[in-house]
Structures are given as structure tokens and as C-alpha cells.
Amino acid sequence: MAETSTNPGGSNPERPPHFIEQMIDADNAAGRWGMWPTTTTPRVHTRFPPEPNGYLHIGHAKSICLNFGLAKKYAGKFNLRFDDTNPAKEEQEYVDSIKRDVKWLGGEFDDGPNAGGVFFASDYFDQMYEFAKELILKGKAYVCELSAEEVAKRRGSPTVPATSPYRDRPIDESMRLFREMKLGRFPNGSKTLRAKIDLASPNFNLRDPVMYRILHEAHHNTGDKWCLYPMYDWAHGLEDSLEGITHSICTLEFENHRPLYDWFMNAINEGRTPDGSGPWGRIVHHSQQIEFAKLQLTYTVLSKRNLLRMVNEGLVRGWDDPRMPTISALRRRGFPASAIRDFADEVGCTKTESVIDIGRLENAVRHTLNKTAPRAMGVLRPLKVTIENWPEGKTDELDFVVNPEDASAGTRKVSFGREIYIEQDDFMENPPKKFFRLAPGQEVRLRWAYFITCTGVEKDAAGNVVGVRATYDPATRGGDAPLGPDGKPTKKVKGTIHWVGAHNAIEAEVRLFDRLFAAEAPGERTGKWEDDLNKHSLEVVRAKLDPALAAAKPGETYQFERLGYFTADPDGAAGSPVFCRTITLKDTWAKEAGREANG
RNA sequence: UGGGGAUUGGUGUAACGGUAGCACGACUGACUCUGACUCAGUUAGUCUAGGUUCAAAUCCUAGAUCCCCAGCCA
């Protein structure tokens, strides 16, 4: 399916620049990061640095769109970098899914003008180790032999300093122990390398943070080469430095870490010179950390930990269950990547923590799909209508407009006959005033077909409506009333309803999704998000569909007219599709009817 | 009881001492062979209290509320 977007790069030129763009504009004006080689284009190099310990979700999408969007806007580069410094939590499966999801969203990391490449923190372990030894030599790091429990005990309080008896150990002793740590001579947790900063700092991140811990554990990338793994704070700035990242964008909770980020880079650069003269060599690149507020959504839980629990506890059918907020689930459900990009751009980028109405995402999806999705008719809850004055066995092939928003999509044929199905909701035996659909004595238009008038109702023994009888008006073929002498239609009907022919409709499973959570802020009420799970988030129906839909391939999205957008699911087989409801159409009638019912 | 951030209509977001604007929602209406889409209109806001200024969302002072921080997680 062709994808269009009002802003394909995820960056709308009409929109005023957000605070990060303003910073970049200022940096560029000041020449802060220099130019790309042989150009006069100021260097802007961003990265998306996920830890491969889970599937990416819509919150990550915001970050990907932000970082890639900046690289694109400023004709710079964008890296995908796996922050794989903790072998205990990371897996190849997640690496694969993250690559797939970033690429699908439009983050070009290995192909295209803004592709900077794909990298792994673990690729830099050797260089990080060398930098660490340099800090030891400079007297800025030491090997500490306190256990984790002891460190916690000695952490102090905001006003009471921490302590460590190993802080003033001689440089050569730390160096020897650090080398032996690498050689695997010590068990897990027995020693750490700590930065010597300030045990009394009100910012706990500066109270001699751990740079390396001993972890005898195989790594998905480096195997069993290492038993010494760097901590995030030590590693991250080095990764950015080695890749020449200019703007290292992260979320708000890392604001307290920025002084440490800068301390590490300054410690490395102390004694280094621009031309490399002197004992420590050339100054290394020091990028700018910038924090922004991560995405939060109503009716949604967004944290890898909790999403992992939903998967493991069987609350959903997997990471790509279409009710999940993961990228792979949204893709399966039929949300177009361009709609997610538009959404990310619309919600903006600030340091204010805000909660976005999930309806904004849904609207972005409707907006995109309205222009791209071919239309079809399908009946979710069928009610049979018999056209009494239509000859038995006769069919009529009528023109159906494939997409009213896109004339180039053309028309195709739909087949009409004596028996058809309409939606149960489109018939009422005792309708309220403004019900424009089918009711006894009332006339409606069958979309692209004929006007019909309801002449009777068939009921079962219990009094339920099981069928409807009607007559059609032969003069309305194609759905238009004949014109009178004044050139105007001789009659008008208020309602148009969708239908499928009983003689040729296919039957298909259709999965109707509702929000996974029934509460706007899951867990707010009781402290447990489980208590707010929506028990009706999945409904499965057997629908009657236009036979043309039998050919739908997984991933293709159609608008079932008057109902919503539906995407063929991989669970379907050739000729017997399964559809997921991507999103409903807006339904002001349902709103009105609901209002009336509630008084 | 320490440190770091944030606060503008219902929601999100502009303004960078000089007319508080935009988007989404909601509500009206127009249009309509989708009660969709589209279009038009209406609605509604600067956390509080002082101060500086001809002029304050913006600067100053004091306060309020919310978020983050004491992992060998990221």
C-alpha cells in the first residue's frame, strides 16, 4: 500500500522550532560542532540508543522520530546504537526486533542520506577499558572492595556524606587490581571500579559512582570475552564521543546524570591537547546531553518492565498483540508508520511532563488512512434482508467507488441480489426520531445500489428480529433517485447504509479491539494497573464481507465503509482472511444515541 | 529535612519585555450516496501573592503544586 504523509520526515516545516531545534540553530550559528568534511553544512549527528532488553513501544517512537527527524532536518546523520552494557538482560531477539521497528518507522540508520550506521556499545569495550585505566592513572578512579550492601549502607543521606575505605588506595594498586578484575580472578560483586568525585555531593550520582562491575556472564555480542562490564554513566558519553554524536538526546530522568556525563568527559580530556602533544594525546569529542520529556499516553501503560509482564503472564497474546502499545503491535494492527510520525511531530518536544490523549494517536491514524485506504463493504453483525420484488436468482453488478478521496483508485463491481445482509445496528423496529436508517415503512439507500423500503419484520419464537423484508425501487439503480423536470432528484433519503450480497459474501473472522485499559491512568485508583485492565478489549465476530476481500494480503488496510479501518492479519490464510479492526470511524450517531439513552 | 527539573484554555503546544496565537477535543451550522471526510463559526488559558516597568506569560522576591535522584539497571 502506498504511504503518504503531510510531513514524510516527521518534521513539519510550518511548526515553530522546539527547544532542541533552537539549541541546534544556536550551535550551528556559533559553529560549535564544525562542518561535515568538504561541506559548509554544520554537523548535526544524533542517535537512538536502546537497550536490547525488550520490544520498542510508542514512547520510543517519539524518540526515534525526534532523533531521526533532526538528522534529516539539518542534513546530518542518525545512528542506531544498542546500549548493551548489561549481558544479564539483553537478547538477540530484541536486537532483531528493534532494527526492524526503527527501520519500519523510517529511521534510516544503515541506508539513505542520513544513515549514520548501526553500532553496539559492546564494540567499544576495549576502548572504554583503556580510558578507564587512564582515569586510574590520573588518580580519578579507584578499585573499591565494598560489597553492594556495604556501599548502600555507607551511601549517606542528602546531608550526610558517603564513605569508602578504599578511596585513597595507591594508584598502582588500583591498576593491578583492575587488570586482575578483567582477567577474571574475582567473583561477581567482590570489586568495582569507582570514579573519585565527591562523596558529599547532594547529587548522589557524583558520590563516587561505579564505572565497572564484575559479571561472569556471556554477552549476546562479545560472548565470554568479558567478565567486567561498564555502567551506563561511564559508557554512554564514551559511545557518543567515539561516534561523534553532537546532540545526545535522552529523557528527563537523566538530567541528574548530566553533571556526571560531563565530569567523565572532562576527566578524560584533562591533560589532553588539541594537537595530541603531551602524555595523554588528543582531546576527545564531548557531545552535549539534552533531556526532553518522554511520551505518556492515556489508557496506556508504557514501560518495558510492565509490557514484559503482560506478555509473560499471558494478559495479551504476545509482544505484537494488536492491543499492545509496541511498535510491532501497532504495525500488525495497521497503524501506518507515517501516521505515527505525524503524531510524534504533533505532540511536540518539551521538558514539560504531559500526558497525551490516546485519541490524538487514533486521529492521526484515521487522518492518514482516510486518504489511502481502499473502501469495501462488510457486515460485522449480519441481519438478512429479503427484497420481495427482486426476482429469485437474479443478480445485478453495480459500480463501487474504491476510494472517494482518491479518484485514481477507480471503481470496481459489487453484486446485488434478492437476499442481502445489513448491519443489525442499521435496523430498528421502533426507531427514535432522528434514526435515518432502516425501519418499518422507512426508505434508505443501499450504498451504490438501490433505495429500499422496509415492508415487514421476521421474528423467532422469542420475539427477536431475525430478518427483514423490503421492496426496492428500480428507478434508483446505482443509488441515485431519478431527476425530475426541474433537474433535481425526485426524492431524497436521509440514510445510506452498507450491505453485502448473501449470494456471494465471504465469511471471515474479524477481531474488534478496544483499549487494553479501562482507566485513563491505569493503576491510579488502586496502585495496580492490572485492576484497570479492560475485560472487553477483544471481541471476535464472524462477519460477512465483500468477496473482493478474500484476496487481501496480511498488512493491507481497508476501510469497511461506515465502520472503520481493518487490516488483514497474518493469522489469516489465502482465501480465508482474518481482519483486525485498526480503528473505528468517528460515530456521531453513537454519541447522540448514547446521550439520549442517558437522559 | 539536600539536589535537579517543570507549571499558559479540557488536552498538547507557541510567545524569548510590546495585540496571549496554533492544533486537537467539545459545541453550532454547511456539505454529503460513508451520521465518515471536508468547510465555517463558537467555546475556553498565563499556579499564587507581592514588586520593577509606560508596558510582564516573559524580569525580581516569596510561596504553592507536580516529577526525578541514595542499583554493582538503563
As given in the structure block, the three cell numbers for residue A19 are: 527547544
Distance A199 CA to B16 C1' (A): 39
The nucleotide whose C1' lies nearest the CA of A232 is B74
The nucleotide whose C1' lies nearest the CA of A162 is B70
Domain end position, chosen among A205, A230, A255: A230
Neighbours of A196 (CB within 10 A): 19
In angstroms, the CA A199 to CA A281 distance is 30
pLDDT recorded at residue A98: 98
Give, in order, the Cα–Cα distances in Å from A198 to each of A138, A534, A597.
Answer: 16, 49, 66
The residue with cell 511531530 is A345
**Do the domain assignments include residue A277?**
no
Residue whose CA lies closest to nucleotide B22 C1': A15
- Where b means 16+ CB within 10 Å and e means fewer, A13-23 reads eeeeeeebbee
Per residue of chain A (599 residues), give pLDDT as tens. Answer: 333 333 434 456 678 999 999 999 999 999 999 999 999 999 999 999 999 999 999 999 999 999 999 999 999 999 999 999 999 998 999 999 999 999 999 999 999 999 999 999 999 999 999 999 999 999 999 999 999 999 999 999 999 999 999 999 999 999 999 999 999 999 999 999 999 999 999 999 999 999 999 999 999 999 999 999 999 999 999 999 999 999 999 999 999 999 999 999 999 999 999 999 999 999 999 999 999 999 999 999 999 999 999 999 999 999 999 999 999 999 999 999 999 999 999 999 999 999 999 999 999 999 999 999 999 999 999 999 999 999 999 999 999 999 999 999 999 999 999 999 999 999 999 999 899 999 999 999 999 999 999 999 999 999 999 999 999 999 999 999 999 888 889 999 999 999 999 999 999 999 999 999 999 999 998 999 999 999 999 999 999 999 999 999 999 999 999 999 999 999 999 888 999 999 999 999 999 888 777 65
Distance A352 CA to B48 C1' (A): 20
Give, in order, the Cα–Cα distances in Å from A105 to each of A49, A81, A119, A303, A361.
Answer: 15, 16, 18, 19, 15
Q: What is the CATH number of the domain that holds A463?
A: 2.40.240.10
Residue type, A139: G
Residue A278: half-sphere exposure toward Cβ, Cα within 13 Å: 12
Residue whose CA lies closest to nucleotide B21 C1': A16
In angstroms, the CA A198 to CA A288 distance is 23
Per DSSP bridges, beta strands A378-379 and A465-472 are: unpaired
Domain end position, chosen among A187, A212, A230: A230
**Do the domain assignments include residue A30?**
no
Distance A294 CA to B44 C1' (A): 27
Q: What is the CATH number of the domain that holds A169?
A: 3.90.800.10
Domain end position, chosen among A230, A248, A264: A230
The nucleotide whose C1' lies nearest the CA of A401 is B33
**Do the domain assignments include residue A563?**
yes
**Do the domain assignments include residue A153?**
yes
The nucleotide whose C1' lies nearest the CA of A158 is B2
Residue A354: half-sphere exposure toward Cβ, Cα within 13 Å: 10
Nucleotides of B strand lying within 7 Å of any protein CB atom: 1-8, 10-16, 21, 23-27, 33-38, 66-74
**Do the domain assignments include residue A172?**
yes
pLDDT recorded at residue A268: 98
* CA-angle at A247, arms to A242 and A253, nearest 5°: 105
Distance A171 CA to B72 C1' (A): 21
**Do the domain assignments include residue A567?**
yes
The nucleotide whose C1' lies nearest the CA of A144 is B72
For A180, the domain range is 144-230
ipTM, two decimals, is 0.97
pLDDT recorded at residue A13: 61
Backbone torsions φ then ψ of A205, nearest 5 degrees: -65, -20
Counting the structural domains of chain A, the total is: 2
pLDDT recorded at residue A593: 87
**Do the domain assignments include residue A557?**
yes
Residue whose CA lies closest to nucleotide B7 C1': A352
pLDDT recorded at residue A520: 96
pLDDT recorded at residue A12: 65
Distance A364 CA to B25 C1' (A): 14
**Do the domain assignments include residue A417?**
yes
